[in-house]
Amino acid sequence: MQTNDHQENPSDPEEEEITHLSSSTPADQTHPLVDQEDIHPPSQGVDKDLGMNEEAFHDFIEQQVAKRRNNEPLSFKDKLSIWMIGVLTFFVSIATILGTGILGLPVKLYQTGFWPFFSTFVVCFIMQAMIILYLTEILQKTELIMKEEHGKKESLEEENIVQEKTREDVDDLTRTNDDQEEPFETTQENVATTVQVKEENKEPVVFEPDLHTIGRLFLNRALQILFDFSVIIHFISILISYSIAGPIAIASLFNIKDYYPYFIPAFVLILTIFVLLLERFLSHIISAATIFKGALLLIMVGLVGFISGQTKLEFTDNFQYIGHPFLIGTVSLGGVMNTLPVIVNEDEDETTPEMRSRVKALKIQIFRWSAILGLFVCFLINVLWCLFVLRIVPQESTDKNYPSLHKSKEKGEISTVPIIEIIKLKYPQYVWLGYFVQFFISLSITVSFCTMSFGAKHMLDGYVKTFEMAQQRAGSYASRLSQFLFSKISFLKHKPSRLSLLLKILLYGATFLPTYVMAQINPRSFLTVMEVFTSMALNLESGFFISLILLLSCRAQYVHHIVSVPLPKLFIYTTVGIVAVYFLFAVVFDIIYSIIGWVWPEKPF
């Protein structure tokens, strides 16, 4: 979550009044913003003639004005922006979480049943909620550090401007025989004018914490590379699963399921171009599409629940296989941390620091709890969906022509495929429901693909910003590197912006091109991708690394960065170890589970 840096407004009438209070306001008068009953002057430092010395009276008035401002009601614009952050966060969270995980999860219950899955899924929900709390804390601290870095950079730039201008003027002085007093004064005026023009032409800076910047600020070089690698692998693997599941749903909608590989190129290409070109409006488009998607989802879950009441199929539970849905369960509720940083906050343009602090704190609070509320809604929908699927689709079937969860697992199908087949076989009067489900799945995966692509683009843009900062810090070496690239690549033509554009093209290609290639080469690897690669990368980055970064952000060197809505230190130190161990266990379990799966296909756990 991001906010803009603030520059104080010296023209504020209230601030001017306070500034000149000591000289213009007698000690026996009151400030217009302070009630008579609020004034209880301190007894120390009181002059017998004036009643209070000017410095103490000035400080007292400032305290009373700040107190009055803290009690001022929020404007309509402030209330609207706060609730917009909440609505946007809620729907982006749902769009991120409700992707392919919910579609693949019921298929993994063919041996487990419902209650073993539910017991692990509750723990998973709690851990994912903790990650949201941790991430909000980290985003706040990252923003403060970015502001500090920007301030140091501006100071260095101004110092360089002064030195350069002074050096030029001194050189001019050596070449003239005029009087030295006048040129020296002119030099000082020119320097001041240059710095002033630089300030006036400066564009407002928007601080946008991204996952790459978080890793760069808090992790050492080796851990930063591993963190970035896990984030990129998660983005690519989840996009691969969307690139497979989306065309399956679209092809099934038109009754040409066997031809779905031909839909993959158009699906990936069109949506990728859509994300890259419409970034500015994408978050609002995703929110609107998610509202429509949520309405359809409620209808679909209700209709499938109605069908499950007609079948009254009994399912069996077996805690021996409790590990089967564990990994894909973490995927079904995870991933929200990859898209929360892209939610852009509106400017806090209030004229007083007290009001800005109030609005910012309220935005952070509603941002945090809206994300957790979205996670809880997804948890309930996942649980209900799995329960309804188990009551419609048998876990095993002796009839080769009758669908089952086990057969769907072997074919790599999503859970809606056997549901639609059973509806067509046993309930032809509800065949329209099958088309409704397929339409919803197509829309859901499309929205989720755009959401995760948006998150991936946001992180890749963070690499570009880091590159630009490194170029500025590197000085002459960066200039030589740029000159070499300019001489070899005519497209650049001595324009640094084109060098950044070239880097963006390379990064986007390295992310989205493998997505298409892997989906096209092995279109039946949906569940394998979800279980092995997506879950491992997600648990490593969102669980272990976020917990580690939170601990590192509590070190002494970051103590002076005081966030608006901090987590209690006791809460952090008592929970972060448990969360880190949980997700690290999930990573180790993923590795062992995959190895055993290759040696022993029918896993005993």
Give the CATH number of the domain where residue 418 resides. 1.20.1740
The Cα-based distances of 323 to 64, 112, 329, 582, 589 in angstroms read 61, 8, 10, 14, 9
Q: Which domain holds residue 60?
A: 13-70
3-class secondary structure per residue, 187-229: HHHHHHHHHHHHHHCCCCCECCCCHHHHHHHHCCHHHHHHHHH
Q: How many domains does the chain have?
A: 2
> Tens digits of per-residue pLDDT, 421-430?
888 888 888 8
465 located within any domain: yes
CA distances from 63 to 8, 211, 361 (A): 18, 39, 20
pLDDT digits (tens, 9 = 90+) for 550-564: 999 888 788 778 888
Q: How confident is the model at residue 105 (pLDDT cuts 50, 70, 90)?
A: confident
Strand, coil or helix: 322: coil
Q: What is the reported pLDDT for 102?
A: 78
Instruction: Please give the distance of CA 84 from its chain centroid, rounded to a whole number.
Output: 16
Q: Is residue 95 situated within a structural domain?
A: yes
- Give a three-class secondary structure readout of 176-197: CCCCCHHHHHHHHHHHHHHHHH
Residue with tokens 């699963």, as numbered in its chain: 241
| Crossing angle of helices 264-277 and 496-521, rounded to 10° | 160
Local confidence band at 21 (pLDDT 50, 70, 90 cut-offs):
very low
Of 201 and 400, the structure prediction assigns the larger pLDDT to 400
The tens digit of pLDDT for each residue in 118-147 reads 999 999 999 999 999 999 999 989 888 888
Domain boundary among 24, 41, 70: 70
For residues 309 and 261, membership in a common domain is answered with yes
Q: Are residues 471 and 571 in the same domain?
A: yes
DSSP secondary structure letters along 565-583 = SPPPHHHHHHHHHHHHHHH
Q: Where is 450: in which H helix or E strand?
A: helix 431-474
Tokens found for residue 2: 């991001």
CA distance 351 to 354: 9
DSSP character for 540?
Answer: I
Same domain membership, residue 62 and residue 93:
no
Please check whether residue 463 is in contact with residue 507, taking contact to mean a CB–CB distance below 8 angstroms.
Answer: yes
For residue 73, what pLDDT band results from cuts at 50, 70 and 90? confident
Q: Is 207 left (phi over 0), alpha (psi -120 to 50) or beta?
A: beta
The string of pLDDT tens digits covering residues 209-257 is 888 889 888 999 899 999 988 888 888 888 888 888 888 888 888 878 7
Spatial separation of the C-alpha atoms in residues 15 and 13, rounded to whole Å: 5
Q: What is the mean pLDDT of the chain?
A: 75
Please give the Cα distance from 136 to 133 (Å, whole number).
5
Residue 175 lies in a domain: no
**Which residue type is seen at 150?**
H
Residues 18 and 151 in one domain: no
Residue 96 and residue 61 in one domain: no
Give the length of the chain. Answer: 605
Q: Would 200 be classed as within a structural domain?
A: no
Kindly state whether residues 485 and 516 are assigned to the same domain. Answer: yes
Give the Cα-Cα-Cα angle 407, 435, 395 (nearest 5 degrees): 20
